[in-house]
Structure 1
Amino acid sequence: MLRPAPGADRTIAALAATGLVATALPLFAVRPVAWAVPAGGYDAVVLTSANAVRHAGPGLAALDLPVLAVGQATAAAAAEAGLAVAATGEGDVAALLDAYGQRYPRLLHLAGRDRSADPRLIAVTVYVADPLGVTAAALAVLDGGVVLAHSPRAACRLRAVMAAHALGCADMRLAALSVAVATAAGTGWGAVAVADRPTDAAIVAAARRLAD
């Protein structure tokens, strides 16, 4: 489990409900940064991570704009924060914009520092995810197990730290949230299962299949 808290806690609980015991190995530490709304009027806010909700602070609610959320977890976090969720996507941000971009042409993306660019969005950084040092001893928890990767960046970071410690992945299995995550994780895994939807429930189901 490569997610930082609190997302890792929810995924671990979901895995436990299927009979799987999981351990968190966070690769990043998430922290807020100061931000300001770029000049211009906006029709809606795009959120691609629940981290944006957690770390944007009171400035997010002060925008008083409808939210377009990528994924159910992000939508749930926004709703819990009292925001008005106008749409929830089930794919990536491009699919969300294809579906709702004409209805909401001026979109403000509250995002992390490391993100993919889309010309249809005005993006502002509200949080950063700094890489954490990972020891060979910490990586030992992955031996012979199922690794859950929720993002391409986490998958890339995992392979980098494994390479730094001269560790292979042939005895590990990978549950990936998407094809992009699986691609970022590289080759050589004992087995790979991709979630059939980009949701936490789906990646838990993929991990269950690998564990059986």
Structure 2
Amino acid sequence: MSRPLIVVRPEPGLSRTAARLRAGGAAVTQWPLFAAAPVAWEAPDPARFDALLVTSANAIRHAGAGLARLAALPVIAVGAESAAVARAAGLAVAATGDGGVAQALVAARAAGFLRPLHLAGREHVDSGQPTVIVYASADLPADAPAFAAAAAGGIVLLHSVRAARRVAALVAKRGGTGIAALSPAVLAAAGSGWDIALAAPLPTDAALCALALERAIDRAAGAGDKTA
């Protein structure tokens, strides 16, 4: 018997993740708990930096006019999505990681960039680099009993520590609900008592979706490749 998957991240990532899961054969509920929006910020002197560290595609989407002052700096992207959005905005991508902030910084150093400026959201993983906040995610209203009912018997995908804490607050009785988290840190933020509690092997949407699909779909029942 298959388990439904519940996606709570903000748009446009919400629809992209849902499409990836549906392509894998899962039943998906889209229930956004946050919405990303720009915040006022002032671009620092670009001469102080040799690259832009982009750990979320939303940093490029919501950076606004201030990004133009920094556009000559090459981008160190945390993953393929961030790299694609940066290129679409007319920025040059010098290096792309595939394993989170630490791995992106390794890629940056390997490419010779030692002074990156981190463009980030208000809730972000500390990179240890100079950081400017260019967007923030606001909570969207959610009825706790309704959300818990929708998640019962399913697996909720958690893309951030903030999402983990919000879902934990909404679901009081967790015994019939599973969670799949982007990283061990995100998983820990959701607390205990879940029916299934998993962390993706890499902090990417693709890895998280693959993990959730593996646990959600009973391929034996559908004459798939599992025999038990």
TM-score (norm 2): 0.84
| 1:157 equivalent in alignment to 2:169 | no
TM superposition shift of 1:178: 1.4
- 1:82 CA displacement: 2.2
Deviation at 1:208, TM superposition (A): 1.0
Instruction: Name the counterpart of 1:13.
Output: 19
1:195 and 2:204 correspond:
no
SS in 2 for 1:23: strand
Among candidates 54, 73, 92, match of residue 81 of structure 2: 73
1:61-93 superposed Cα distances (whole Å, 9 cap, x missing partner): 441210011122212221222221111112222
SS of the equivalent of 1:105 reads coil
Is 2:185 aligned against 1:186?
A: no
CA RMSD in angstroms, aligned pairs only: 1.8
Q: What letter is aligned with 2:91?
A: L
What pairs with 1:128-167 in structure 2 (closer than 5 Å)? Answer: 128-135=136-143, 136-162=145-171, 167=172
Aligned residue for 2:34?
28
The alpha carbon displacement at 1:32 in A equals 0.4
Partner SS, residue 60 of structure 2: helix
Question: In the alignment, what sits opposite 1:56?
Answer: 63
2:132 to 124, 128, 131: 124
Listed one character per residue, the Cα deviations across residues 131-154 of structure 1 (whole Å, up to 9, x for unaligned) are 223102233211111111111121
Q: 1:34 aligns to what SS in structure 2?
A: coil
Give the percent of matched residue pairs that are identical in Structure 1 and Structure 2. 50
Looking at structure 2, the residues matched to 129 and 171 of structure 1 have their Cα atoms a distance apart, in angstroms, of 29
User: What secondary structure does 2:61 align onto?
Assistant: helix
Moved over 3 A (4+): 116-119
Q: Distance in 1 between matches of 2:127 and 2:20?
A: 33
Aligned partner letter, 1:93: V
Structure 1 position 107 matched with structure 2 position 102: no
- Which of these two proteins has the greater Rg computed from alpha carbons? 2
Mapped to 2, the partners of 1:87 and 1:202 lie a distance apart of 20
> Counterpart of 2:76 in 1: which secondary structure?
strand
Matched, 1:97 2:105: yes
Equivalent residue of 1:11, what SS?
Answer: helix
Gaps of 5+ in 2: 1-6, 219-228
Q: Does 1:174 align with 2:182?
A: no
Residues of 2 paired with 1:192 and 1:149: CA distance? 11
Distance (whole Å) between structure 2 residues aligned to residue 53 and residue 116 of structure 1:
16
